[in-house]
């Protein structure tokens, strides 16, 4: 984490919007002057200075949770021949996982479908680095499938390597992520 303290990385624009929403001051100019010099607010300073790796990982996790728990159009309509629709916001989300069982042959296709959804709808991922692997063991007691995901988050001046786990609750079809903030 020493690299994190030294290196400030370019922040995505959604970060600025989220922070303004959290502070409830999106409409406030925030410009102030002291002795004729402009004084930056803390948030404005972060936008100029950049964010650290932990902040960027936290923001990515927020967006991944939204993506993973949204069912895409492909779940109810075949869009295989519609290349632009596959990558558009019309198909935002992942395949419907609520009918999935551990013995289902479709489980073998989920890593590909998950990787495609992550690449198509999360522009911070470097597509060539995306690797999604189904863990062999199945948690019969809790009815959960686990996927190991390795990728890089595009960032300036250097991309951030990520290793995290996607866990699918087969009963509800919901997905959660772990180790996004802790990996690195």
pLDDT at 3 over 50: no
State how far the alpha carbon of 178 is from the alpha carbons of 12, 62, 85, 147, in Å.
Answer: 22, 12, 30, 11
In a domain, 71, yes or no: yes
In a domain, 46, yes or no: no
In a domain, 183, yes or no: no
HEC per residue, the chain:
CHHHHHCCECCCHHHHHHHHHHHCCCCCCCCEEECCEEECCHHHHHHHHCECHHHHHHHHHHHHHHHHCCECHHHCCCCCCCHHHHHCHHHCCECCCCCCCCCCHHHHHHHHHHHHHHHHHCCCECHHHCEEEECCCCECCCCEEEEEEEEEECCCCCCEEEEEEEEEECCCCEEEEECCCCCC
CA atoms of 134 and 126, how far apart (whole Å): 20
Q: Higher pLDDT residue, 164 or 170? A: 164
Per-residue pLDDT tens for 27-63? 666 677 788 887 766 666 666 666 788 888 888 898 8
In a domain, 90, yes or no: yes
**CA-closest candidate to residue 11, choices 44, 46, 62:** 46
Q: How many domains does the chain have?
A: 1
The mean per-residue pLDDT over the stretch 168-180 comes to 83
pTM: 0.74
Among 51-60, 66-75, 102-111, 159-168, the range scoring the smallest mean pLDDT is: 102-111
CA atoms of 76 and 86, how far apart (whole Å): 13
Report residue 77 as tokens: 């309509």
Per-residue pLDDT tens for 106-156? 677 888 988 999 998 888 899 999 999 988 766 666 678 889 999 999 888
Based on its alpha-carbon atoms, the radius of gyration of the chain, rounded to whole angstroms, reads 19
CATH code of 148's domain: 3.10.450.40
Q: Which residues of 98-133 are buried (b: 16+ CB within 10 A; e: fewer)?
A: eebeeeeeebeebbebbbbbbbbbbebbbeeebebe
In a domain, 165, yes or no: yes
In a domain, 130, yes or no: yes
> Which domain covers residue 61, as residue numbers?
54-178
In a domain, 97, yes or no: yes
In a domain, 86, yes or no: yes
């Amino acid at each position: 984490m020493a690299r994190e303290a030294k290196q400030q990385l370019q922040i995505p624009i959604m970060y600025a919007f989220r922070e303004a929403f959290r502070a409830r001051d999106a409409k406030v100019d925030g410009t102030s002057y002291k002795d004729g010099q402009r004084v930056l607010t803390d948030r404005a300073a972060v936008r100029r200075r950049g964010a650290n790796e932990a902040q960027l990982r936290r923001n990515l996790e927020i967006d991944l949770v939204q993506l993973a728990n949204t069912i895409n159009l492909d779940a109810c309509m075949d869009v295989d021949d519609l290349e632009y629709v596959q990558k558009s916001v019309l198909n935002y989300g992942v395949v419907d996982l609520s009918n999935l069982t551990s013995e289902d042959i479709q489980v073998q296709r989920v890593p590909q479908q998950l990787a495609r959804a992550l690449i198509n709808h999360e522009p911070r991922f470097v597509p060539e680095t995306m690797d999604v692997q189904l863990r062999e063991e199945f948690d019969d007691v809790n009815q959960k499938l686990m996927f190991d995901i390795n990728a890089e988050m595009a960032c300036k001046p250097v991309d951030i390597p990520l290793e995290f786990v996607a866990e699918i609750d087969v009963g509800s079809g919901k997905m959660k992520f772990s180790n996004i903030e802790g990996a690195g």
